Amino acid sequence: MTYAHRMLRAGFATIAVFAGCLAAHAAPMTFRTIPVGANCGSKCSLMIVAEGDITLSTPDRFVEFVQRQSRDPKMRGVVLINSPGGRVGASMQLGKFFRQAGVAVIVGRAGSRGIAPGSCFSACVYALIGAKKRVIPRVSKIGVHRMVAFDYGRRGDDDMNRYEAVFATPELVQRLSDYVGSMGVSREVISMAERTSHDKLRILTPQEIRRWKLGSENF
């Protein structure tokens, strides 16, 4: 593990347990490459597709993937992301790695005819925020809500289907806000998220996305 890995892990260790996913978790995030453009055959440039739930291992797997692909001269620093969310700490760590790699992130899916509408919900937004350039097409969706962890059997209850929602402390919310501000995005994103119930999703409008400097509609 590199020094940068150790430092980032230490900084986010205390918030790693906070999940940012509203619905049932999808499969863990995977990475693959697809051609950029059509009718270019083997000469096509390549971009990264990131799909799925952001887990604790996702940031390291992204770094490993980029290291393996970096020798290919056709690789471009573009990531296409589609995610329901995941772990807040891991998402910030992934965002830090996006910034270190200097990548542009587009919210969308790989479709049969190019980039299709996608979504970046909950903790995924904090990974997106780390990108050097953020592209959010109008047809794609960005959604936020309050950070929460679910502590099953917290009170000694034998029924593990019961849980207690545990919300982030003000200190952890401030740390997340500081991260967002350091990436050049308005801290109002965090204020809006923390005002939204953990069991709902606040879809951001194009006007909010522009006002809070989350991204642009075009590359």
Residue 166 contacts residue 151 (beta carbons within 8 Å): yes
Confidence (pLDDT) at 20? 59
The structural domain count of the chain equals 1
Distance CA(47)–CA(44), nearest Å, equals 10
44 is a domain residue: yes
Distance CA(191)–CA(180), nearest Å, equals 11
Q: What is the DSSP string of 172-203?
A: HHHHHHHHHHHTT--THHHHHHHTS-TTS-EE
164 is a domain residue: yes
Report pLDDT digits (tens) over 155-204.
554 544 554 566 778 888 899 999 999 999 999 999 999 999 988 999 99
Confidence (pLDDT) at 191? 94
147 is a domain residue: yes
Q: Can you give the residue range of the structural domain that contains 183?
A: 3-207
Question: Can you list the residues of the chain whose pLDDT is less than 50?
Answer: 1-17, 23, 152, 154, 157, 159-160, 163
219 is a domain residue: no
Query: CATH code at 58?
Result: 3.90.226.10
19 is a domain residue: yes
Distance CA(19)–CA(147), nearest Å, equals 6
Confidence (pLDDT) at 122? 94
**DSSP letter assigned to residue 117:** P
14: its two tokens: 């205390």
Confidence (pLDDT) at 22? 54
199 is a domain residue: yes
26 is a domain residue: yes
101 is a domain residue: yes
